[in-house]
Structures are given as structure tokens and as C-alpha cells.
Amino acid sequence: MQVVDLGRDALDEARALLTEACRFDAAGVVAEEKLFGATPPPFRSATLGVRLDGRLAGVAVASGRWLRLLAVHPDQRGRGAGTALLDEAAARARAWGATRLRSGDQPGNYLAPGIDARDVGTVAFLERRGFREVARNHNLAVPLVDNEHVTTARAEAQAEAAAARGYRVRRAASADEAAILAVATRSFGAVWAFELGLALANRPPTAHVAFAAGAPVAFACCDANNRGLGWFGPAGTLPEHRGHGLGQALLIPCLLDAAAAGHRATEIAWIGPRRFYENAAGAGDGRDFVVLEKELV
């Protein structure tokens, strides 16, 4: 059994495999991004595949110290493909200087912030190979249809309330990109700026911004990471401008963007302030994720 580096010419075959293999994630929809998409520097990535009987049996992506993705076609499980991919991913990570290999929650380009807790088979597979649970993450779910929180009227009312406090809330424009990314990088870090840049690259941009005295002071976006799924985030407000309703004023237009794209519900990934999202958008329980890690020796 030989593990090889996959090129983009294998994308269609890999997408079909991911659609069959990933029960809990829409991996087929975002296959190109997960297999070949960029990540914030300085991470290096390798997209790996293994064939059995002439068919692509499994794929994996190692990126920095993360195992971004590992999937084996259901018909090919139990034949060693997953183990071979995992071993090669660990070898690549070790060669890049990593001392641990971590599952799923790679900042900037993740399919999910860990392994869906319902995927007990994958969790057990990794635990048998030396991985141990180190964290849990949670996504909230927001209905976008018949949700009284997610309406154009509410978005307009919140924008007007922000204007009364001296802020202008609107969709980001191409001319804003440099200033917005500079603020995001300086105040929230390179990873959030990387994801925000993906939303700014959409046409129209799926990022909304609050300005004070002509300068960006808060932002929120959707359909950045996992483009095509309509997920919300990241979002941030400069500390000195918090408490003025900007979070809600930016959240609702993003959710309206997701609804306009045809999504009936969306996820708020890797949540922080749960109560805020419950009150502001009617968010409810979504999915739990297990983060596993293994020492590389």
C-alpha cells in the first residue's frame, strides 16, 4: 500500500470519496478548500491519498501540527488505508518540526473544530493509535427561515441605532480591504485576518463593518472558512467600542447573507459568548466536537 501526494487532478475523485465518507460534515461541498486551500503562514501542508484495487480509498491532509482531514471510503475500511495515511501525516508533521499531531481544529482552514462527537468510530480509531482527548469545542445552530431575529427590518433598525451613537454600519467594499485587514491583524491576529480576507474576496463581500470617524472599529463575516456552507465568523469589535450594539448590528446582516444564499440554517463555529448569540439571533444547540492530540516521537 503506497501513500502518495495528491494533485488537483484528483479533486473530483476525492470529492466523491469525501461525500461518502464524512457522515457529519459537508466535506464534499468544501472539498477543494479543505484539500488544497491555503492556510495562514507559516503552515506547510500535504494532501495525501492511498489507492486500493485502483480506486482512491482514502485521503488525508497534514498541515503544520494539524491533521486537518482524514477520511476513508466506507467500502474500503478495515484494510489499513486509514493507518497508512495517519502514519504518513505524522511523518510529514514531524519533518516540519511538530512535536504533536492534533485533530481537526486548525485555525484558518478547518472542516470542523475537532471531530464530531457522534463520530465515535473515528474517535476510537485515533485513540487506539495513541491520540488522547485534549479539548471540546461547540458550534451553535441558527435557523434562518421564519426566525424573528433574522429580518431586514431588524438589521435596518440596528444600523440606525448604531448611527445614533456615531457609527456607520455597512457591507465592506473593495476599497475598505486594506484598512479592515490592518485592524483585524493588529487587534485580533493573523488567523482572523486571513479568514476575514476570504469573506472580503467574495462578490459581493460577505463581510460587514462598523466605522467610527471613517475608520473600521468592528467587523463580522460569513462564508469565509468553509465557503459555500454559510457559516458565521469571525467577528470582532475593538475593546473601546464594545457595549454599543455593534455585535448585533453586524451579526444580522451576515445571517441575512447566508439566508440569501439559500441556506435554511447556519452554524456559528467555535463559539465564545453563547448567551449573546442566543439572545441576538435565536441560536440553539448545534454540534459538539472532540479535539484529540498525539505526541510525535
pLDDT of residue 114: 96
pLDDT digit string, tens, across residues 70-116: 999 999 999 999 999 999 999 999 999 999 999 989 999 999 999 99
Q: What's the mean per-residue pLDDT of the chain?
A: 96
pLDDT (tens digit per residue) in 230-284: 999 999 999 999 999 999 999 999 999 999 999 999 999 988 779 999 999 999 9
Residue 93's pLDDT is: 97
Distance CA 251, CA 207 (A): 10
C-alpha cell at 128: 487506539
Q: How confident is the model at residue 27 (pLDDT cuts 50, 70, 90)?
A: very high
What is the enclosing helix (H) or strand (E) of 277? helix 274-281
- What pLDDT, on a 0 to 100 scale, did the predictor assign at position 278? 96
Q: What is the pLDDT of residues 199-243, one digit of tens each?
A: 999 999 999 999 999 999 999 999 999 999 999 999 999 999 999
Q: For residues 125-131, give the mean pLDDT.
A: 97
Q: Is the peptide bond before 42 cis (omega within 30 degrees of 0)?
A: yes
Domains of the chain: 3-137+290-295 (3.40.630.30), 145-263 (3.40.630.30)
Each residue of 157-168: pLDDT tens digit? Answer: 999 999 999 999
Predicted model pTM? 0.94
Cell 490592518, located at residue: 182
Cell of 291: 479535539
Peptide bond into 40 cis (omega under 30): no
Mean pLDDT of 148-156: 98
Q: How far apart are CA 207 and CA 170, in angstroms?
A: 9
Q: Nearest Cα to 64, choosing from 98, 40, 36, 32?
A: 98
Q: Is the peptide bond before 113 cis (omega within 30 degrees of 0)?
A: no
Rounded distance between C-alpha atoms, residue 271 and residue 267, angstroms? 10
Whether 15 shows a pLDDT value over 80: the answer reads yes
Residue type, 58: G
Q: Are 266 and 231 in contact, with CB atoms under 8 Å apart? A: yes
Q: Strand locations in the chain, DSSP E? A: 3-5, 45-52, 55-63, 66-72, 100-103, 115-116, 132-143, 167-171, 207-212, 215-222, 232-237, 265-268, 284-295
Burial annotation 68-99 (CB, 10 A radius, 16+ → b, else e): bbbbbbeebeebbbbbbbbebbbebbbebebe
Burial (0-12, 13-18, 19+ Cβ within 10 Å), 239? exposed
Q: How many CB atoms lie within 10 A of CB 3?
A: 21
Task: Please choose, from the candidates 225, 5, 241, the residue with its C-alpha nearest in 3D space to the C-alpha of residue 106.
Answer: 225
pLDDT at site 271: 85
* Average confidence (pLDDT) over 112-134: 97
pLDDT for 100: 97
Residue 40's pLDDT is what?
A: 81
Gap between the Cα atoms of 203 and 152, Å rounded: 20
Looking at residues 159-181, what average pLDDT do you find? 97
Q: Which residues of 201-227 are buried (b: 16+ CB within 10 A; e: fewer)?
A: ebeebbbbbbbbeeebbbbbbbbbbbb
Question: pLDDT digits over 40-49, tens only?
Answer: 878 899 999 9
